[in-house]
Amino acid sequence: MRPMVRRLVLTLSVLAAVMMVQAFAVAPSALAIRATPGDTWNTAGAVFATALSEDGKTLYIGGKFTQVRENPPGVPGGATVQASNVAAIDVATGAAIPSWNPQVTGDGAAVHSLAVKDGKVYIGGNFTAVGGEPRQNLAAVSATDGSVDPFAPQVSKTTKRPWVYTVLAGDSKLYAGGLFNTVDGKTRGNLAAFDLATGELDPAWKPKTNNKVRDLEFASNGASIFVAGRFTHVYGSDRIQADRQSVARVYTDTGNLHPWAIPAGTIGTPQQGWDLTATSTRLYGGFGAGPNFLAAFHLDTGDVGQQAWRFRTVGNVQTIALSPDRSRLFFGGHFGTNVNEQRVCGDQWLSGLASVNPATGSLYCDWLPQLAPSQNNGNGAWALTTTGGTHLWVGGGFTSVSGVEQSNLARFGGL
């Protein structure tokens, strides 16, 4: 564990250290971002998912929390909104929107995924009711008032607790991934698709994996979907099978396997892909189970996804996001907050949040926020979203950021 003196010195000197290294550590094209969070409301419990409204004015958050509050614990005063695992935040002010308050409930209920499309917020996780109406791990509510939508698929798993870890909304379909084997009485192996207009399960789109799916991400042209998770084998809708360690690619329309693949042995096993983001030339991914790392893979060399670079961490990389100008790849997780410590940039701690040059994987030393607790904290950062081209929002499980009391939800300005 870090000495207490080190923690105090770090808290007091992080801003000065950032200014000292900025001149020689950051590529000229990289945008500047503030090292400490700005003023925004926070939550009583972890935030696992964030999603931006279609007009960019509202940030929806999901997780396992009971309140959204103006001030963190120990700070007197301030307003409080009672919530049940989902809430809405005004992007301009950082305040909770009390009128949007669907209740996601059930024994141990938690929300792990959100997506916004056509005036609806799609919610995935593990729960049995939304707004008092029965819903089994996947639901939809109005993006304006939180009223419950008729969309009510039955997502279940034999012998294990089912989860919908990721939802992805396309032009005509909603795609879902997680840990399940049955949807609406039909066999589905951790992947499923629904008609956005009718809410019906797509009868033909049925690829499957041999273990949980954590993230779904469209390719830049929308014609295919990248899949990340803990799997080692994937089947297309046509039942053609292929070995795929943690990352696969399927066609958006059919669910058949795409021939693009990361070469065998590149990722290694055991491993879990946590989060992905794609451009026309690169696929970026956060990984953690055996070795933990952030990596980039080629999408511009045919169907062979050679690794372009890798940045190793001492804990899971659970969430990633490109800056609006694509000069930084932000990443978060529980590296440096759980068991192992990691020093970078001379003598700074890597603690749950950082950014790299997307082209090279080189760490930027001017932005190293410190998430606390810095020991025995298996949450760290879980969700990253940029808003309005000006702010980066971070959801996760933490009590302070770089010495500033801010629980589980923070935003950084200066993008």
**Average pLDDT of the chain, as a whole number:** 92
Q: With bands split at pLDDT 50, 70 and 90, how would you rate the model's confidence at 156?
A: very high
Kindly tell me if the per-residue pLDDT of 14 is higher than 70.
no
Cis, bond preceding 134 (omega within 30 deg of 0): no
The domain limits of the chain are: 4-35+99-152+270-413
- pLDDT digits over 40-51, tens only? 999 999 999 999
The pLDDT value recorded for residue 21 is 31
* Structure-block tokens of residue 71: 């001030």
| Residue 97: CB atoms within 10 Å | 18
| Residue 239: CB atoms within 10 Å | 10
Stretch 145-162: mean pLDDT: 97
Stretch 246-252: mean pLDDT: 98
- pLDDT digits over 320-362, tens only? 999 999 999 999 999 999 999 999 999 999 999 999 999 999 9
Q: Is 227 in contact with 205 (CB distance < 8 Å)? A: no
Q: With bands split at pLDDT 50, 70 and 90, how would you rate the model's confidence at 32?
A: confident
Kindly tell me if the per-residue pLDDT of 74 is higher than 90.
no
Kindly tell me if the per-residue pLDDT of 406 is higher than 60.
yes
Q: With bands split at pLDDT 50, 70 and 90, how would you rate the model's confidence at 26?
A: very low
How many Å apart are CA 113 and CA 30, to the nearest integer? 30
DSSP 8-state class, residue 99? T
Whose CA is closest to 46, among 104, 87, 85? 85
**Measured between alpha carbons, how far is residue 47 from residues 58, 89, 166, 289, 321 in Å?**
16, 13, 14, 21, 16
Percent of the residues in the chain that have a pLDDT greater than 70, as a whole number: 93
Residue 237: exposed, middle, or buried by beta-carbon count in 10 A (0-12, 13-18, 19+)? buried
Q: Is 3 in contact with 328 (CB distance < 8 Å)? A: no
How many residues in the chain? Answer: 415
Q: With bands split at pLDDT 50, 70 and 90, how would you rate the model's confidence at 20?
A: very low
